[in-house]
């Protein structure tokens, strides 16, 4: 029987061979009925969904980028290309949840965005979710900073669902079986990374595989830039401050209110 519980902050080693391998451990913990959160930083790299393998030049470009010190990793969730590396903080949440992707995906996204927005709010940044045309891996639930008609992406979000086949089924209010899944909700937050550099890397890879996609550095912003638009204000120990704010907000929020109810 799965019952809702607060998030546990877990420390999982992020290996250089494949930093995304930690996602499998998080899903295993969630399948055991735990609600876990992991804050981590990946080495300089690019991350793409498995759908990118459809490009004929993908493996050649991937090998070339790896030789240049920028490996390209494949992730389980969909979406588009995401830069990783120093100055980019990842938040991964994993928990059991009753329902289906179609019914509950927006709940998952809103819950994750609310945690991010609350954490950045404690630092003095007001954010909201929206699409940001021209940003990498654009989506409806980007976290954005600035007025809606001129907002810039500060964080991207994604989610991945896996059904827990061994769990006992329960009946929903409508009388249908409500399946149990484990959900991995993930955010990529630009803390101090340089938008020019990360977009250059992203565009070079998209060019190399001939995808036709191009991203604009002016459509994204880091926490550092948002706090100090002129570049002259003190933002010392910024990554530690952001990580601490995220941890506090994750623990305070807990998982979605009806997560893992039986």
Residue 143's domain is classified under what CATH number? 3.30.930.10
For residue 90, give its domain range. Answer: 8-253
Spans of the chain below 50 pLDDT: 1-3, 168, 171-174, 261-262
Q: Quick one: pLDDT at residue 12?
A: 85
Q: Quick one: pLDDT at residue 89?
A: 97
Radius of gyration of the chain from its Cα atoms, rounded to whole angstroms: 18
Domains contained in the chain, number? 1
Q: Quick one: pLDDT at residue 238?
A: 95
Does residue 175 form part of some domain?
yes
Q: Quick one: pLDDT at residue 234?
A: 55
Tens digit of each residue's pLDDT (9 = 90 or more) over 58-117: 999 999 999 999 999 998 888 999 999 999 999 999 999 998 888 899 999 999 999 999
pTM of structure: 0.91
Does residue 157 form part of some domain?
yes
Does residue 53 form part of some domain?
yes
Give backbone dihedrals phi and psi of 248, rounded to 5 degrees, phi first.
Answer: -60, -40
Residue among 202, 206, 183, 253 at smallest CA distance from 88: 202
Does residue 262 form part of some domain?
no
Q: Quick one: pLDDT at residue 135?
A: 98
Does residue 2 form part of some domain?
no
Does residue 221 form part of some domain?
yes
Q: Quick one: pLDDT at residue 262?
A: 41
* Distance of alpha carbon 236 from the chain centroid: 24
Does residue 259 form part of some domain?
no
Does residue 143 form part of some domain?
yes
Tens digit of each residue's pLDDT (9 = 90 or more) over 19-31: 778 888 999 999 9
Q: Quick one: pLDDT at residue 261?
A: 47
């Amino acid at each position: 029987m799965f019952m809702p519980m607060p998030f546990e902050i877990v420390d999982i080693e992020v290996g250089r061979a494949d930093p995304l391998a930690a996602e499998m451990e998080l899903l295993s913990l969630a399948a055991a009925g735990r609600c876990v959160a992991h804050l981590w930083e990946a080495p300089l790299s690019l991350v793409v969904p498995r759908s990118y393998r459809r490009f004929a030049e993908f493996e050649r470009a991937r090998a070339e980028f790896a030789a240049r010190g920028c490996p390209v990793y494949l992730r389980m969730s969909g979406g588009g290309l995401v830069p990783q590396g120093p100055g980019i903080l990842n938040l991964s949440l994993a928990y059991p949840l009753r329902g289906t992707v179609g019914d509950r995906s927006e709940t998952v996204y809103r819950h994750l965005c609310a945690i991010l927005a609350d954490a950045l709010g404690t630092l003095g940044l007001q954010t909201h979710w929206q699409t940001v045309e021209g940003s990498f891996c654009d989506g409806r639930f980007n976290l954005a900073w600035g007025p809606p008609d001129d907002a810039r992406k500060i964080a991207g979000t994604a989610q991945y669902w896996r059904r827990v086949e061994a769990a006992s089924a329960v009946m929903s209010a409508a009388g249908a079986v409500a399946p149990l899944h484990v959900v991995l909700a993930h955010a990529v937050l630009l803390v101090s990374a340089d938008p020019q550099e990360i977009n250059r890397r992203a565009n070079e890879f998209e060019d190399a595989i001939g995808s036709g996609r191009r991203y604009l550095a002016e459509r994204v912003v880091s926490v550092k830039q948002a706090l100090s638009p002129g570049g002259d204000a003190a933002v010392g120990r910024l990554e530690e401050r952001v990580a601490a704010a995220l941890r506090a907000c994750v623990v305070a929020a807990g998982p979605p209110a009806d997560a893992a109810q039986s």
